[in-house]
Structure 1
Amino acid sequence: MAPAFHPAIFGDFFINNVQPSPKESDEWMEERVDQLVEEVGRMLEVCKDDVVKQMNLVDVLQRLGIDHHFEEQIDTILKNIHRAEFNSSDLYEVALRFRLLRKQGYWVSPDEFNKFKAEDGSFSSDDITNDPKGLLSLYNAAHLLTHNEKALEEAILFARHHLQLLRGNLAYPLDEQVTRALEIPLPRTMKRVEVLNYIFEYSAEEKMFNPSILELAVLDFNILQKVHQNELKEICQWWENLSSDIRLDYVRERVVECYFCAYAAYYEKEHARARMIFAKRCMLFSLLDDTYDVRATLEEARKFNDALQRWDKSDVSLLPEDLKRFFLSIISNFREFEDELEPHEKYRNSYNIKAFQILSSNFLQEAEWFHQNYIPCFTDHVTVSLQTGGAIELPVSLIVGMGDIATKEVLDWALANPDAGRAFAEVARFMDDLAASHSGRDKMDVASTVECYMNEHGVTREVAEAKIAGMAEDGWKSMNQIRFKHRAFLPFVQRIANLCMSATLLYHGKKNGFSNSLELKDMFESHFVNPIPLNHIDYD
């Protein structure tokens, strides 16, 4: 019997309620944004001789989500900051530099923090423990640690302990920022989520506040929200047509949630094509998952996978009626993906198809295990479940719709099960399995990594969960390390890291916010329904 998934949380809301805005309003906002971009760009130039001011300004632009207007300037600034000597005894400044540079793929040694340590190598100065802003900066910076960086692990524990002691005695907005960071550190926070928090806190940052920057942030968010609303209208209509055609009543209707993951990967206007292709691919991924988990018998699953591997419409006769419709719909959608590509890009769709076929083969392996009531060894389970977690499928589908920077070399890298894809899958899969362990997996799901580890090692659930949580942490360390290891692919690594952030949000607190997304509806509304009031801008 199929599980009872809750229906789509927005129903046909976006289809019926998204209307074109007045042209005059759109033109005014676009013109005003152009003016403000020029003004803020000049600010970046003016402070070029003051490294601390530059870093603070870059940090503000990134946290307000308007750094996409200044990518070249910011890259030049950070490159110069990395090359130059930096001698500061201020913990906040040293940690800010560390975080900004590591995030951009520039190596900075943890030894930068040695000046704040006692002779025994520990952080112990009263100046540090009574500096909440510096502690928060250290805490966030240290979460860009890689493997075997014990000093940064110690920095996290130290900063977290003292921030927890200081909670309740901090002024706004630092109190809010500390609370958020203790839940999800800034380097793991989805960028658009931070925007919606920081945009209301920025005016309280007295030393850094500039009304033009705030105005640009508010207008930019609202302009992009209209773009995202129109895309949601289109993709919800696509889903309505698809679901009525294939009539799969057992699946999770999570089209807004899939779009949210695409939006997390790239929210900028210029990535509209990539965002729409990726959102649809995420939905097809979810449908394929549910088909193997819930609908198909083992024999049907084998035939369905065989048909997908051959990618031949004539194989449709071998399938049950509802799976025939799904199979033909997959073929049709991939043809539409190819139609979205320019003539010189159409070769990319072969990568698209191959990644989907790899995903299907691994879903079939999980179905084989389930129907045979077999619990695989932990290593075998991880090998397969990282693939069904999207280790190849999602990086490839994320890249296919991007612009000219998405070359054959990049797609070869993505299809070859890159470190970045594996790191993403480790974060997403292990957090998903921890959520399943906490709430109980569905009867139709294969045993999770938690259960496999318990079975193989004869340990309690608590011990197994601690192991899996540690492996999710290792996924983040790998993702951080890949920024340096594959710097030539940094634009794509950053997008994959963005997916890690969306997974961290959806599965935070051992909850499955994808399958059970009702409690996230208010959050989705803040991103896709409610504009930021223009009266938040002080035009005086």
Structure 2
Amino acid sequence: MASRGATTPGKPSSFEPSVWGDFFINYEPQPLQSCEEWMRVRVIKLKEEVCMLFKGCNRAVRKMMLVDVLQHLGLDHHFEEQINTALSEILESEFSSYNLHDVALRFRLLREHGCWISPDVFDKFKDENGSLREDITKEPRGLLSLYNAAHLLVHGETSLEEAIAFARHHLKSMRGSLKSPLAKQVKRALHLPLPRTYRRVETVHFISEYKEDEGHNPILLELAKLDFNLHQHLHLKELKSMTKWWKELSEFIGLSYVRDRVVENYLWSFVVHYEEHFGLARVISAKINVLLTIMDDTHDDHATIEECQMLHEAAQRWDGSAISLLPEYLKRFYKELLGNIKEIGDEMATSGNYKIAYIKKQFQNQFSYYLQEAQWTHKCHKPSFDEQVNLGVMTICVPTVSVCGMAAMGDAMPKEALDWVVGLPDAIIASGKIARFMNDIAAFNRVKSKGGAASSVECYMAEHGVTREVAIAKIGSLIEDGWKSLNQARFGDRALLPAVQRVINLALSFPLYYGGGNDAFTFSTRLRETIEILFVNPIPM
């Protein structure tokens, strides 16, 4: 998932040094405010009480409110069975509310969970001309709910595009008159709508806001705080282990030009696999992200074309004897690549997971994609926009990261779903395009190094003879198309929904890393506050 940078062969990296260094190796977190054993026992008790809350919800609106709050508080993964049952009941029950917030909330929850619901449900809020009525602008909470719900649109739903524009305009105009916590929620949504927001970051904000709500449930609030702090304690242990692993790896391979981004790569895997029981998948994915970063930085204007070809040949052989093919400075990296993939396979096998062949194959594919890009640069080939995008989706590593992350999940991701991802379905391509386009816009906003591969922005400008502003606007519309395609993927084969959700989780990381035309991976100080919120600062009880 590394973004494109450029270095001069033989010289140290010109990238920013790590923000973190040995911080997580040496960091001693604050002691948990209560002993961990007591906290876990308390969590079990509170989860039982939440199950009783579900049983006490007799009306659809109450069920929706409970599900929504659990999602905002980051607790929904504990109650998947109860939530699925509640949503089935909500879908099947008659619903005739004229409350905009309730109608939009029902629409959003059902679509998020793969249940198709027509945008016609919003027709009751339109006038005789088919436009949304002005009187609904007096309901800011309902307007915010509509705005977030409409972002689950698919291709061809112009009525939802109009709803987004309508709600955005009126929410902007009323920002100064809103009170917290609604004012804060509107500000966040206008920056990034809820369906495109990474939920663990939203959880931190919502926990502090939920207690301001007079109708908040103290059971849910206590459980959310305990759950977050327990998770954070686990993640700190993983970060310590990851940082030690990286320190040993980087010292051994001795590639000074590589970006030191182990913490940021861990965050990337955390976005996809945040649940406690996916610790192995999370750590494996983080290590894979680091290895891909090394590969990316090596191919991107560091290795010569001959060295790229050597690396490709060695990777296709995938054998220790292929080390002799490589230049001296890459031999140790290749040895470590083989060794780490073998260790990952051994770790997976301890839990009966023998899908390591998928990971090995994806790495071999990735070397091929990088080689093709290097050949284009070497031959001064100027690809068409479509050619650049098709290869760029692969070099941005979305297919590789998706396959490897899901393979590491073991039985939680059935073989059928994994084969679906390997087949490069529309959801993977859409996610890859979002990543590529956002990355390229961020890269184009920096001074471009000579000799690097042309970005999608440059290819579009050259092919259509337009300015950077026109090209970026066009690519922005293609990013929107990508989100629509991801939304559409929710409504396919329900057996594939768990895999689709992991692809969507990965896509939610892209605004975090590339939002606002910035590259927060390469310029990682931009992620410091987010990492501190998630991994360093516990939530006061």
TM superposition score normalised by structure 1: 0.96
Structure 1 residue 27 and structure 2 residue 37: aligned? Answer: yes
1:163 alignment partner in structure 2: 171
3-state SS, counterpart of residue 522 of structure 2: coil
1:290 aligns with one of 289, 293, 297: 297
Distance 2:444 2:438 in 1: 10
2:355 aligns with one of 336, 348, 354: 348
2:4 alignment partner in structure 1: none
Q: Is the 8 A contact 1:229 1:528 kept in 2?
A: yes
Q: Is the 8 A contact 1:434 1:469 kept in 2?
A: no
2:3 alignment partner in structure 1: none
> 1:1-20 residue pairs with structure 2 within 5 A?
1=8, 4-18=14-28
3-state SS, counterpart of residue 294 of structure 1: coil
Distance 1:506 1:429 in 2: 12
3-state SS, counterpart of residue 167 of structure 1: helix
Structure 2 unaligned spans of 5+: 1-7
1:389 alignment partner in structure 2: 396
Structure 1 residue 406 and structure 2 residue 433: aligned? Answer: no
C-alpha deviation, 1:403, in angstroms:
3.4
Percent identical residues: 50
Instruction: Call closer, same or farther: CA 1:344–1:190 in 2, change over 3 Å.
Output: closer
> 1:290-369 residue pairs with structure 2 within 5 A?
290-342=297-349, 345-369=352-376
Quote the RMSD (CA, aligned, Å): 1.5
Distance 1:294 1:532 in 2: 44
Structure 1 residue 89 and structure 2 residue 114: aligned? Answer: no
- Which moves more between the two structures, 399-408 or 233-242? 399-408
C-alpha deviation, 1:324, in angstroms:
0.9
1:42 aligns with one of 52, 62, 76: 52
Structure 1 residue 216 and structure 2 residue 223: aligned? Answer: yes
1:247 alignment partner in structure 2: 254
3-state SS, counterpart of residue 176 of structure 2: coil
What CA deviation, in whole Å up to 9, does each residue of 1:81-107 have, x standing for no partner? 112221110110000000001000000
> 1:482-521 residue pairs with structure 2 within 5 A?
482-521=489-528
C-alpha deviation, 1:413, in angstroms:
1.2
Structure 1 residue 102 and structure 2 residue 117: aligned? Answer: no
2:192 alignment partner in structure 1: 184
1:133 alignment partner in structure 2: 141
3-state SS, counterpart of residue 404 of structure 1: helix
Distance 1:303 1:346 in 2: 32
User: In structure 2, what residue type is equivalent to 1:391?
Assistant: V
User: In structure 2, what residue type is equivalent to 1:31?
Assistant: V
Q: Which has the higher contact order (CA 8 A, sep 6+)?
A: 2
C-alpha deviation, 1:222, in angstroms:
0.3
User: In structure 2, what residue type is equivalent to 1:294?
Assistant: D
2:286 alignment partner in structure 1: 279
Distance 2:348 2:355 in 1: 8
1:69 aligns with one of 78, 81, 89: 78
Q: Is the 8 A contact 2:175 2:183 kept in 1?
A: yes
- Which moves more between the two structures, 337-346 or 25-34? 337-346
C-alpha deviation, 1:114, in angstroms:
0.6
C-alpha deviation, 1:24, in angstroms:
7.1
Distance 1:83 1:289 in 2: 49
Instruction: Call closer, same or farther: CA 1:76–1:118 in 2, change over 3 Å.
Output: same
Structure 1 unaligned spans of 5+: 535-540
TM superposition score normalised by structure 2: 0.96
3-state SS, counterpart of residue 72 of structure 1: helix
After the TM superposition, list the runs of 4 or more consecutive aligned residues in structure 1 that deviate by more than 6 angstroms.
none
Q: Is the 8 A contact 2:389 2:436 kept in 1?
A: no
C-alpha deviation, 1:382, in angstroms:
0.8
User: In structure 1, what residue type is equivalent to 2:165?
Assistant: L
Q: Is the 8 A contact 1:392 1:415 kept in 2?
A: yes
C-alpha deviation, 1:445, in angstroms:
3.1
